[in-house]
Amino acid sequence: MATIKPFAALRPQPELAARICELPYDVMSSAEARQMAAGNPLSFLHVSKPEIDLPVDLDVHAPEVYAKGLENFTSLIRQGALQVDTQPNFYLYRQIMGGHGQLGLVAAADCAEYLAGIIKKHELTRVDKEDDRVKHIETLNSQTGPVFLTYRAVAELDALFARLVTGAPAVDFTATDGVRHTAWVVAAAADQAFIEQAFAQIPYLYIADGHHRSAAAGRIFQSRQGAGASARFLTVIFPHNQMQILPYNRVLKDLNGLTPAALLERLSKVFAINTPGQPKPTGKHELGFYFQGQWHTLTFHPELTATHDPIEKLDVTLLQKNVLAPLFNIADPRTSTRINFVGGIRGTAELEKLVDSGEYACAFSMFPTSIEDLMDIADAGGIMPPKSTWFEPKLRDAMFCHMI
């Protein structure tokens, strides 16, 4: 069962939300954050990436950085830009990005259930990134960036949420990237009880995005032994059939000593190659390959995809095992400096730009991993290869904060 609870969120004043709420801290560099927050003292990037207010050469993990984040966070609260609700609530959070819309429940999830595997993960975490989130949360005494969860859709919850969003929203704004963000407060005791009871019948929740935030919350829960509100962590939970996963593409620095002709000959042993090809794959087991100014369509030979193992049949796994490791000598894409990853939100034109500039030698465009694949792998206790999924739209930091 999934145990979720309402909580009294720290939220932006509605008229200031567009200026305060920002993309997550981990989808931009410090330099990009400085540019995004320029001229806007209310930007939450002053809290989530507080190094932007300090000397450029300072280590982003220096104690002064976390202290500056607390100073900026406290300032937003003192001036009333962020205010704590007077009672525990659930909240609904809808995002509209182009023709895609998704409606999720904002709730406090259970750290013990995360540690017990009821809230399932599908990625490995890095200790240094966990440490950063632990320090940030501990310093602020708040979880300011939500964990993005999903669950297998439940018709009764869909119907309730559809009814609740017919009311007036508490916050509604369109960000500079064109994504519309709308929130409703679910305060009625009967609605809250129905939601809690419905989720208690859901066996598992799945982390879509936010593995390091989840791990950090679990560590703080253990170190504080659940004191205060540290036994719970901030989440937005979406039904699986509303999730949008974009591809996570690959760009490679060099050809590992292969000539262009030798590379294509080696690739032909793994794929059926159509030239000219299309930038975007049209289905599973098909890739786009950009090389020497031309796109090729690559389709894995059927014998390579003949498996029922949910991890082994992923295109990212097949590419790693049959191409990146044996042809490019990239044994561990987590640590190799000869590969980089480009979120699908940037499009295939970004791949062309990177290769045409000479910075990279070639690029692979991927077909998106499905949410069903993610849940199947998590159910089997598996770990997906790095950079398998890119979820869009991204949840905005500071829409809701959970004070612990």
Residue 93 has pLDDT above 90, yes or no: yes
- CATH number of the domain enclosing 258: 3.30.1760
Residue 47: give the domain boundaries: 4-245+392-403
Same domain, 273 and 360: yes
Domain-embedded: residue 375: no
Same domain, 254 and 309: yes
Same domain, 156 and 291: no
Please give the share of the chain, as a percent, with pLDDT higher than 90. 92
CB 140 within 8 A of CB 69: yes
Mean pLDDT of 70-80: 98
C-beta neighbour count of 282 within 10 angstroms = 10
Let me know if 206 is exposed, middle or buried by CB neighbors in 10 A (0-12, 13-18, 19+).
buried
Same domain, 310 and 360: yes
Residue 174 has φ and ψ, to the nearest 5°, of -110, 125
Same domain, 184 and 95: yes
Same domain, 354 and 288: yes
* Strands (E) located in 114-196: 119-120, 142-143, 147-151, 171-174, 180-186
Domain-embedded: residue 88: yes
Question: In one letter, which amino acid is 82?
Answer: L
Same domain, 317 and 399: no
Domain-embedded: residue 275: yes
Residue 260 has pLDDT above 90, yes or no: yes
Same domain, 189 and 89: yes
End-to-end CA distance of the chain: 23
Q: What are the structure tokens assigned to 295, written together?
A: 């796109």
279's enclosing H/E stretch is none
Residue 191 has pLDDT above 90, yes or no: yes
Residue reference for tokens 């070639």: 362
> 316-375: per-residue pLDDT in tens?
999 999 999 999 999 999 889 999 999 888 999 999 999 999 999 999 999 999 999 999
- CA dist 352 to 64, 144, 292, 358, Å? 40, 36, 10, 10
Domain-embedded: residue 381: no
Please give the share of the chain, as a percent, with pLDDT higher than 70. 100
Same domain, 52 and 90: yes
Same domain, 216 and 288: no
> 125-134: per-residue pLDDT in tens?
889 999 999 9
Residue 58 has pLDDT above 90, yes or no: yes
> 209-222: per-residue pLDDT in tens?
999 999 999 999 99
293's enclosing H/E stretch is none
> 269-303: per-residue pLDDT in tens?
999 999 999 999 999 999 999 999 999 999 999 99
Same domain, 20 and 136: yes
Q: How far does Cα 315 stand from its chain's mean position?
A: 20
* CA distance linking residue 315 with residue 364, whole number of Å: 11
Same domain, 26 and 174: yes
Residue 27: predicted pLDDT = 87
What is the number of structural domains in the chain? Answer: 2
Residue 331 carries which DSSP code? S
Alpha helices in 150-278 (DSSP H): 155-164, 189-200, 211-224, 260-267
Report residue 306's pLDDT band, with 50, 70 and 90 as the boundaries.
very high
Domain-embedded: residue 385: no
Domain-embedded: residue 383: no
**Average pLDDT over the chain, rounded to an integer:** 96
Domain-embedded: residue 376: no
Domain-embedded: residue 373: no
